[in-house]
Amino acid sequence: MLDTQTPGENGLQSFRISGRRVYTRQFDQLYYKRLDELKPLVLDQAKRRWDSTKVKLTPKVLNVEGPSLTYIVGTIFIDSDAKPSTLDEVERTHWIADPLVTGGKYRDSSETVHLEDESGRIRLVGKELAKATVASGIVAAVLGAETPTGEFDVAEMCFAGMPPHDQSLTPKQTEDRYVAFVSGFNATIEQPVTLEMQLLAEYIVGNLGTSDTQKACAQIVQVVVAGGLMELPAPPLGHTEDPKVNDRHAAANLVAQIDEYLADIAASVPLAVMPGKGDPADVSIPQQPINRHMFFQCRQYSGFASTTNPAWLSVDGVEILGTAGQNIDDLKHYTTNGESACLLAAESLRWRHIAPTAPDTLWCYPFTERDPFILEHSPHVYFIGNQQAADAAWAAAESAGGGSEAADCTGTRVLTVPVFKDSHQIVLLNLRNMECTTVCIGRK
């Protein structure tokens, strides 16, 4: 029996913001909550790894003294001239800042890397730091020693590690059943539904291909659209009396056509739609669901769900976590070793935080009571939408000795979903064995 839940049900972590949204709060509480919750987990990993070597913890970063080997715990902060400035962006765009417009790398020769806790901060240096995959906002334990100039020479780093799976959710599938992931339709007013999109709908509902292809399509039990539904025209800047500039009928018509297109899919198979960059939803994460009134036809079907971004889903006991890609796209700006999107997604599971760069360079809601991006348990599947190419990997828990071991003997299947408008590809995940297949839709 197919069991699909919306986020927050049956114990699933929720990214919904309840009640009135208040954007006037400061973000310091979010950082305090993150450090407060992750520090004990990081300390546990550090003690298991380093206490056997008789290296001891220095409780506060400002208490580090002398060249003796020690380890400290705090939040990484990277500062450089290459990082975007929100104030500069606001001034440049006449007080209307776009958090999604960013440049290239955020790291260059001007950068400084610090580790912060409640007492203050200390600068991190060393060759091992250059090799590590890190970004602002990660809570980490750092092994090393103070240099004569008062900096901390990094010898090794460790993180909170992947949490265990939720034992109340166990995969039940013994037959081949598939979840189809697609992202980045990026429909426009000029071309709302392309030929490839039409072919995709025909493929999913089983009206395309040979009898074997149609039989395989009948095994698709869930479709997930991971953001990038449409490219709406930018609203007019400031106040204008020109009725042509203020006319939004074309945009409304685009929304209606996308609704009609998705309804053809929702009529045959359960469909979950996640907002993404450019979609009619919040620009800050977690993006709240696209208003159901924009899906007049889709909402007639019980299997349709408009979800948050990020979102949790459970399909037949398989717990799935996914984003539309903004969190990984922002992490790419911090990479120095050519890490792929799939690798960054796997690393974020080991950091136990899927959006560490929020709110520094990734806009997010100013939470004060919790940090919803901290992982309480590992998903069976973690997908990232709107990437350059399809990819898949296994993320395994890190052992105390620094090696890898499967989390609960299974780990997490990490997969990236390409932009459909460019690739004409979707990703099929087999719920029985977690194998991924890429299907190309369109003309050869």
The neighbour count for residue 294, using CB atoms within 10 Å, is 20
Write the DSSP symbol of residue 106: S
pLDDT tens, position by position, 91-113? 555 545 555 445 588 888 888 99
**How many angstroms separate the CA atoms of 349 and 361, rounded?**
19
Cis before 148 (ω within 30) = no
What's the whole-number mean pLDDT along residues 208-237?
86
pLDDT in the model for residue 84: 77
Query: pLDDT averaged over the chain?
Result: 87
Q: How confident is the model at residue 53 (pLDDT cuts 50, 70, 90)?
A: confident
Question: pLDDT per residue over 304-335, tens digit each?
Answer: 999 999 999 999 889 999 999 999 999 999 99
pLDDT top residue among 208 and 146: 146
- How far is it, in rounded angstroms, from Cα 43 to Cα 178? 39
Question: Is the Cβ–Cβ distance between 69 and 143 less than 8 Å?
Answer: yes
- Please state the three-class secondary structure of 263-313 as a single string: HHHHCCCCEEEECCCCCCCCCCECECCCCHHHCCCHHHCCCEEECCECEEE
Q: Are 368 and 319 in contact (CB under 8 A)?
A: no
Q: Check the CA dihedral 274-279-280-286 and report its sign.
A: positive
Strand, helix or coil at 352? coil
- First-last CA distance in the chain: 37
Cα 313 to the chain's mean position, in Å?
A: 14
How many CB atoms are located within 10 Å of the residue 19 CB? 5
CA quadruple 200, 205, 207, 210: dihedral sign? positive
Question: What pLDDT, on the 0 to 100 scale, is given for residue 238?
Answer: 57
